[in-house]
Amino acid sequence: MSEVVLPDLFWLEPQREQLRQAHAQQRLPHALLIHDIPGGGGQHLALYAARLALCSVRSQAPCGNCRECALLSSALPGIPDSIQHPDLYWVSPLTDGEKASQQISISQIRELREDLSHTSHGSSGASVAIISPAETLTVPAANALLKTLEEPRTGALIVLLTAAPGKLLATLRSRCLRMQLRLPPRAQIIDWLNQARGAADWAAVLDVMGDAPLLALDADARHLAQVMRDTQHGLDRVLTGEPEAISTLAAQWSKAEQLPVRLACIESWIGVRVGATPPSGLQKSSRAASKQEAPAGNLAALVRAHDAVCELARQITTPINKTLALELILLQVSRSRGS
């Protein structure tokens, strides 16, 4: 995790202002549902809500100077181990040990209920739990959480963070104040990235990663451009009828550390061929590189390839055979060549 201080995530300000006002008027809800956008900064907003609730100087919260604020200063979005405040709980799927899982289990929620039932340590009297990503709650865990929301302890704030609120129990959703993140226009995201990381072809990065400022922030623009060129070259080979390229490329591209970026590049390449308007940068060059526009009759194969890319992206952390999945994607790409 980088120690570099980020420029302000200015697009979160409307939501922060809404939370500040609610807090000042003692109307902060006991359950908040943050509808995140991948790379949009929902975890930062969840931490902001925690800072607000736990600060002991209500009129200036989060004041940044009190003991509570000092304890929270080390907390990093999405890194539970960085939390030192005893009244802030970050609940996510367990990543290591015997109980490692893709889901938040009922025993984690039972433990949280137990923690929240105690009086808080701080002078604000508040406790905050951030549950992220909330759609990974198992059904029993969600039901246990629902009970907690139905009998809230005074001063307890539960923040559910999710990019897929539709996957939460409707009864859980209905008990929360919902807050939706909205991204700024692309030009402002590019300005922000220039400020945060220095000048680079951020438009090209956003073409591949989508308009997701925090995902783009972690991307190495030069490396990404290289992966994009390499991917285009590989896909063009498959398209021009080098069947032996399929298994070679699939084996190369399935390497875990590069796979997410590679999939984004393939998706972008398919998008250009099916006629999605390329905003700028890399996609323009990919359009130039892909000499043939996709004939309508072969669109179906490209759509199947696209669906398979999305499916693999969804399952990227599971132990499925990535090489095989990539071979199937490349096979569809080769079929889109037509006769």
Which residues contact Zn ion by CB under 5 A?
55, 63, 66, 69
Nearest distance in Å: CB 8, Zn ion: 18
Nearest distance in Å: CB 48, Zn ion: 12
Question: Which pair of tokens denotes residue 267?
Answer: 């998706």
CB nearer to Zn ion: pick between 66 and 126: 66
How far apart CA 178 and CA 37 sit, in angstroms, is 14
Nearest distance in Å: CB 30, Zn ion: 20
Residue among 131, 146, 171 nearest 50 (CA): 131
Nearest distance in Å: CB 59, Zn ion: 10
Angle at 173 (CA atoms; ends 169, 174), nearest 5 degrees:
115
Instruction: Determine whether 179 is exposed, middle or buried from the number of CB atoms within 10 Å of its CB (0-12, 13-18, 19+).
Output: buried
CB nearer to Zn ion: pick between 47 and 69: 69
Instruction: Determine whether 25 is exposed, middle or buried from the number of CB atoms within 10 Å of its CB (0-12, 13-18, 19+).
Output: exposed
CB nearer to Zn ion: pick between 46 and 215: 46
Nearest distance in Å: CB 74, Zn ion: 14
Q: In angstroms, what CA-CA distances link 30 with 48, 53, 77, 110, 126?
A: 15, 10, 20, 18, 10
CB nearer to Zn ion: pick between 63 and 146: 63
Residue linked to tokens 């390497």: 255
CB nearer to Zn ion: pick between 73 and 102: 73
How far apart CA 289 and CA 303 sit, in angstroms, is 20
Question: Which pair of tokens denotes residue 67?
Answer: 């003991």
Nearest distance in Å: CB 61, Zn ion: 6
How far apart CA 88 and CA 106 sit, in angstroms, is 19
CB nearer to Zn ion: pick between 58 and 182: 58
CB nearer to Zn ion: pick between 33 and 69: 69
CB nearer to Zn ion: pick between 36 and 68: 68
Backbone angles phi, psi at 213, to 5 degrees: -55, -40
Q: What is the 3-state secondary structure (H, E, C) of 238-292?
A: HHCCCCHHHHHHHHHHCCCCCHHHHHHHHHHHHHHHCCCCCCCHHHHHHHHHCCC
Backbone angles phi, psi at 279, to 5 degrees: -65, -40
Whether 183 contacts 42, CB under 8 Å: no
CB nearer to Zn ion: pick between 57 and 274: 57
How far apart CA 303 and CA 298 sit, in angstroms, is 9
